[in-house]
Structure formats: C-alpha cells, structure tokens
Structure 1
C-alpha cells in the first residue's frame, strides 16, 4: 500500500506531463497502481475489500449465525462469551481460530444494527443546579489490610453540580453500611442535596415496575424522609442515567486503588481516602467551568445544600434469641448480653461499626462489630450476677480469662492471692458493684489498701458505712436547751383536780 507522500508525488509528476511509464520506472511501482493513484479523488488511496472470503467459517456460517441469534435473545447475564461460542464450534468440527469467529461476530452485530436502523448510542448532556442532586453507587476493590488481602465494598457519592466526590470503604454492602455512608458523606459535603439518584440496589428498592415506578425499602424511605431527600431510581441496566458516579468509579479505581493499597486497618484506609477526596477536589478543574477547581465549585455549592441537623440513626434491626449462656448469634459470630436476658427474645440493632442489643426499651449489650466468623465476643460484666451465685466459675469461666480489670480491683486480686477461698472473697467484693457501682467499690478498695487491710470484710464494711446517711453534728448549749414556752406557777390548778372536796 502506498503512503500519502508517494501518492502526492505521482499526481504532481503526472500533472507536470510525465508519463505513467516513466513514473512507474522511477518509483518502481506498477503502472496499474500509478493509474489508480491518479484517478483517486483528493489523493484518497485506500484498499477496500469488496468481498470477504471465509475459508474456515464458510461451512459453519449458518450454524454460527444461529448461535449468535440465540445468544442475542438471551438475558444479559445468561449470554455466552465469544470464547464459549468458538468452543462449541470446535466440538462440531470447526478448525478455525478464535479471532476469525470474533471478527465475524462483530460484523454480524454491526449488520443487524444497520438493518434495525440503530445508530451509535447518543445521549443528552445533563445540567444540575447547585444543591439539586447527588449520585450514589458501589464498587468492589482489592486492598491489603493488616497484611492480608481483602476485597472491600466502596461507597461512592458525587455532588452533581460541583462534582465533589466522597469515597469510603466497608467490609459489607448491607443496608446499615448504606446509612452510614450517607451520614458521613453529608457531613463531609457540609449539607444535603434535595434529590438522590441510585440504581436498583436491593438495600433501597424492593420492587421494580415498568418505567420509573418503584417500591422503596421502608427503612430507606425513613432515611430519605429524615434528610428530606427525594430518591430516584435509574432504569434497569441504564448506567448512563447516573453517568457521573459511574465515571467516578472507574476514575477512583485507577487513581486511588492502583497499585494495591496497604493499611493496618479499615479506619486508617478510610482516613486516607477522605484526605485524597479533598486533595482531588483541590487539584482538578471543574469539567464545565474550567476557570474553577472542583473545591472552589464545591464551596460555591455548599450554601445551596440543606442543613443536616443530625445524622440518621442508621441501624438494621432483627430479632434474636438469647441462649442459657447469655449469648446471641449474629452474623456468624456470638456476642454476650446481660444475664437477666438469658433465654429471652431480644432485638439486635446492627450499625456499620457496632451492634446494640435491646430488651424491650433497655440496652443490655453493646459491642464493636466483628466481620469475621466463628468468633465469641464476651463482656465479663454481663456475667457478674451469675458469678455472684457461682464464685467457682471465676477460675475457668470463659468470660473471665485474661480479664482486664480496673486498677484497684486488679491490685486487690493480687493481694488476695489464688485459690478457691481467695476467689470467693474476691467475688464478694465484685458483687458489690451490682448495688454500689464500680466507682464506689474502687474507692472503698483504695481506702482499705491504703490502711493495709486487703480484706473483703473491711471493704464491704466501708461500703456499708458510706451507704448510711450521716448523723447531724450539733452542740448542746443553754440557749439550745431553753424552753420555748416556760411553765407558769399556779397552785390553784391542783384544787381543780381535787374537785368538790377541795372547795369544802
């Protein structure tokens, strides 16, 4: 194939009167090519194949057309990959390459679109007013936490007007994580837009109807009402309806998460991500207002946002039964609760970072949330009423192994020593926490140890003395003993008692 410079030279020399034979001899090009270059309009000289030979696919063309037609009719998630279609042809005797099948499939699809009158996908540019809307989406990214590989679920939120971004990583993609991501994003942005744009994620949408009609999740609607947000769901498989956050997912993956991030904990990772979001806003210009950075456009949009009075109480509540060992099973782990809830039904409120267990309206346990499995998270204080009745469990009870006691109690236990009698005496002091409180018991222990008396009787005596109300301290004086109404001397009163005889 001739390069453009050669074609231009041929046309110029021919225009100057040089013969085709002479040009062909000088350039060592056939006269047929010379004539074609001269006849080409505007030096346009390109080879176009009018007929595409199919030496390998030819005998299998009808079968391949059938496979492609059937594959096109399948739902998107069930469609066969082109490598699978090539494998099916190989099983039927086809000996051609995968590239031949791929190229044929591309031409086949282009021809179908032309026949249907479908051109290239076209879209309308969107414009949003300051404070009008945000877009939300999830992505899955690979990181390394505490030296171990981990796939985290990353929440992405983007203000549509200023293009400010917020990114936070979570171990799960559950509803309580959605609530936490919204609370933290609105606090980061400094306010709340009036409309949120989502895909049809199950944590937000319960039922998808034709068009834009949706049935949203009840708790999700309560969150939207709390922040005064109008939720909007995109059409299924129509990512362009929230194209800003879709583009953000790809950009953040390449700019933030590659190469693979390594941090000691998720909290450290999220602190770094928040700082990177601010840095991104400060360094990059606004795509529509090139004279402004994203941070400057964000500052201009902030007064248009709604004020967030308080974060939403974003929990996911489920009922659970407490075992006889004062444990509940939640998310493949076991957590302890207060002993009074044994063998009763409780409600577990799961937050993004903790769980709260309630019995009716009383909180009976609160633990940091653990996202592994087969872990037992115990609070020794939950078992104190049971320990008061069974002091022998102090030695081998699972909640009391490696118990990190308060300083005063730890000193007392060392003073009392080891053995069954020492454990019994120590449990007597521990039991006083149920009635007097931890601070009062620690103060009594410190007083007893300062006096050199490491005895449970002395400590309990100090607590009892402090519980009695103090007697008033008064000094008896003559003025204080003076009568308010001094008696009057009157002997005639005795005659009245004697009656008529006294008068005679």
Structure 2
C-alpha cells in the first residue's frame, strides 16, 4: 500500500497530462496501482473490518458449543479447557482434521462473545455519600513492629478521606472510628457504602443481617447503609483507592505510634491526615480536595445528634471455674475468684472490656485483646488478691511474671521462703491499694525492698506510699552510683523502734 502523498502526486501528474507509463517511471509504482488510484472516485477511509474466512473448525463448532453448554454449570475448578475440548473432539470424531490451535482460538472467541459478567460502569457519587473499608499496614510500636488495621472513610464526590487506626476489625472498631470522624468533620454523611458486611453484620447466602448494635448506631446518627456484593470491591472503588493511597503516602515507611493508639487517633493522626489530603487535587475537577469537601460539608452533611453514641456491645456471659470470661473463644479475662461460675454482663468497646455483675456494679475493666493467639488478661488487684490467699503460688503467679527482671521487690520475694511473711507483705500491698494507685504502691514497695525496710508494718507502707505519691524518687534503678543512705533521715527512720517514716 502506497502513501496518500504518493497517490496525490500520481493524480496531480495525470491531470497535468502525463501518461500512466511516465507516472510509473517517476513514482516507481506498478502500472495497475497507478491506474487504480487515477480511476478511484471515493477516498473516504474504509472501516478496517476483518473478513470472515471459512475455517476447518467451523464444521465442528456445533458439537463444541453443545459440549460447552452441557458443562457450563460445573464447578469453576472443573471447567473444560481448550486442551480437554480438543482431546474430547478427537475421541468423538477421530477423522477431524482441525488442530489444537484452531480449537483454542474458537474457544477464546466463543468465551469473549458469551461472557456472563456485566462488566463495569461509571458511577456518579453525590455530595454527602461516603464509602468505608478497612486496610492493614505495619506500624512500629512499643512492642516492636505490628500489623494493625486502619479504617478509612472516603467521600467520592470530593475524594477526601479520613483514617483511624485500630488493633482489630469488628463492629465496635467501625462504630468508634466513624464516631471520631463524624465529630471531627462536624457532620454525618447521609449514606455510607460498606464492604460485604465486614464486622457489622453477617451474610447468609444472599441475606444480610446487620448487628443490632450497628442498627442502633445508624438510627442514632441518621445515615443509611448499603453493602457491596461478595468479591465486588470495585463497587466502592473510591475507598479502595484511598486505602492504598494512605498506606503508600502516610504509613510508608512504617510510622512510630504510641502505646495509647486511642489518643493518637484523636490528635496526631488527624493532623497527619489533613496534611496529606491538603496536598491533593481532584482527579476530575482539578480543584483542591479540601475546597470540594468544604462545599460538601456545608451543603450535604447531616447535623450531629446532641448526645454521643456509646460505641459498645453488651453481652451476657458465664464465668468458668477459674472466674474467666472468654471472648472470641480465645481471649480470657480473669475476674476475682468470688465470681467463679457466675452470670456477668460484659461491655466490649474498641479499646476495652468492662465486666459488671447482674446489678450493674463494675467488677473489672481490661484492655481489649485482639489477634488469633490465645491471651489471658488479669488485673494487678485480682492477681494480688489471689496471692494474699495463696502466697505459695508466688513463683508461678502472673503478678510475678509481669515484674521486670532485676526489680528489687521481685528479687526480695524470690529470696523469701517464709510463706507467712509473703502473706503479710501481700496483705499490706493490697491494703495500700485502697488509698493509692497501683503504680504508686508498686514503686513504694520496690523502694522499701531495695532499702530492706520492713514491709509488713502498715506505718512504713503508708508513709512510703505518701512520700512516693507526692515526690517520687526511684531507688531501684539508680544508675548514678551515689548512695542515698545518708539521706535516710529525710525519708524514714530505721531501727527496731523507729520503723515509721516521718
């Protein structure tokens, strides 16, 4: 095929009176080619459609199509491959002269024309509509590098997104994260699209049931919810994109977060979020994302209710013989022994677990545990009460395991073989916790153990706790090498008759 400039030159020379033979010599084209373009009347560009040529496989296509229809309802892992269809064809019709490549091309064309999926459509998202989903990323914590979850709420109209970090992915985390975001932006989206009921409901076949507590949450804030189909993350593609954008641009490399993630969510994380979003331009409107979201917030968000929702679930549980309450089948929370085999009320929040008796009196409060490994949580008070009753269990107690190696109080009790002495020390420890916080009492007993002060006398214990509470001095981890003994007169008197502190 020759170029259009050559065709134009051929026709121009012919109009100037040159013969076809002369034109062929000058343009170096075949006589028939030159004659064709001189006589051609329509130079409109034709549609480059392929001409259908008869193929050998066409005479067997009815048999192949029938085979495919008979097996179209098979499990997807047992669908017929091109190789298998070709083999069955040769077995059924040994004289068939078609090749495997011909069968393969026919199957590809047949599958392309008979796809059953609906494909993708561009969706229009209006102001006040949002999408929510969880992502996961590694974070550097006080316990080392951990893989945690983070909830993202994005607004497709403005493309602005907000993030909250959690240790788990459940209904309480969803509610707590949305609650923080609602209060931060000062409004509530009218509709939120969620993943396939992750954390906030249960799907049985095609029926989806929301958790009752999440229905309460929706009613309280007045928004509607909609859920994607299974394995259809593209139905909420905006939040899926923002989950990855936040991971790559805010959490890469892994950031250092404090042990109190709840406070971090409400303070530093929101500042980081605003800084990241403030750098973005909308991919269609070519306007700053913050500017579009400000319009959305002023015109389309619902007002906040006058009261904050308590983002918790309430469960009825019965303790076992060890006074344990078990959640998610693997996380145990130990109560005082008097609550063995008792009915209790459990509140599960995103960050804590609170246990009440049937009259609504608080028994214990724990940090909530997450993950697939078994955990056992017991408060210092409960562990100590157990030691008061059974001082002989000290060496294998959780109370001892939670103390650092080298702690003077731990080493003192390890050296002590007198169970009666241990009992009296634990008794005074528990008694002091009625007046002071656990950390104060622990520091006081650590100091007394380091200075070998009698810890069985109430006057010594209360005086040291009072002094630590008002002016803490760390005797147990003194790295200076300076002796504090000569300052003992300012702390407490030593001796048989002067055990009391001033």
Tell me the TM-score normalised to structure 2 length. Answer: 0.66
Alignment of 1:116-135 (within 5 A): 125-128=124-127, 133-135=128-130
Can you list the C-alpha shifts for 1:206-236, whole angstroms capped at 9, x where unaligned?
A: 67999xx98643211100122232x142675
State the Cα distance separating 1:202 from its structure 2 match: 5.7
Secondary structure of 2:248's counterpart equals coil
- Kept in 2: contact 1:141–1:253 (CA 8 A): no
**1:104 corresponding residue in structure 2:** 109
**1:386 corresponding residue in structure 2:** 386
Can you list the C-alpha shifts for 1:335-377, whole angstroms capped at 9, x where unaligned?
A: 3233332222334433333333333322423124232402333
Secondary structure of 2:394's counterpart equals helix
Alignment of 1:130-141 (within 5 A): 133-138=128-133, 140=135
Larger Rg: 1
Alignment of 1:10-409 (within 5 A): 10-17=7-14, 39=40, 41-42=42-43, 44=45, 47-52=48-53, 54=55, 58=58, 61-62=61-62, 64-66=64-66, 69=69, 85-89=81-85, 92=88, 95-96=100-101, 100=105, 103-105=108-110, 107-109=112-114, 125-128=124-127, 133-138=128-133, 140=135, 154-168=150-164, 170=166, 172-198=168-194, 201=197, 203-204=199-200, 216-229=210-223, 231-233=224-226, 236=229, 245-250=236-241, 252-253=243-244, 256-257=247-248, 261-263=252-254, 277-286=273-282, 290=286, 292-304=287-299, 305=301, 306-307=303-304, 309=306, 311-331=308-328, 332-360=330-358, 361=360, 362-403=362-403
Distance in 1 separating the partners of 2:281 and 2:425: 67
State the Cα distance separating 1:441 from its structure 2 match: 9.0
- Aligned residues, how many? 435
Distance in 2 separating the partners of 1:98 and 1:425: 89
* Alpha-carbon spacing, 1:348–1:415, altered in 2? closer, same or farther (3 Å): same
Secondary structure of 1:392's counterpart equals helix
Can you list the C-alpha shifts for 1:26-61, whole angstroms capped at 9, x where unaligned?
A: 666556666776748445266532115555x54663
Distance in 2 separating the partners of 1:371 and 1:25: 84
Tell me the TM-score normalised to structure 1 length. Answer: 0.66
Distance in 1 separating the partners of 2:335 and 2:275: 44
- Kept in 2: contact 1:134–1:195 (CA 8 A): yes
- Kept in 1: contact 2:140–2:256 (CA 8 A): yes
Distance in 2 separating the partners of 1:232 and 1:336: 37
Can you list the C-alpha shifts for 1:170-194, whole angstroms capped at 9, x where unaligned?
A: 5544222221231232234232233
Distance in 2 separating the partners of 1:149 and 1:67: 52
Distance in 2 separating the partners of 1:123 and 1:441: 62
- Kept in 1: contact 2:194–2:228 (CA 8 A): no
* Alpha-carbon spacing, 1:139–1:367, altered in 2? closer, same or farther (3 Å): closer
* Alpha-carbon spacing, 1:391–1:181, altered in 2? closer, same or farther (3 Å): same
Is residue 431 of structure 2 the alignment partner of residue 432 of structure 1?
A: yes
Distance in 2 separating the partners of 1:295 and 1:105: 48
Unpaired stretches in structure 1, ≥5 consecutive residues: 465-504
State the Cα distance separating 1:330 from its structure 2 match: 2.6
- Kept in 2: contact 1:336–1:365 (CA 8 A): no
- Kept in 1: contact 2:316–2:344 (CA 8 A): yes
Distance in 1 separating the partners of 2:440 and 2:108: 82
Secondary structure of 2:431's counterpart equals helix
Unpaired stretches in structure 2, ≥5 consecutive residues: 91-98, 464-502
* Alpha-carbon spacing, 1:13–1:48, altered in 2? closer, same or farther (3 Å): same
RMSD: 5.0
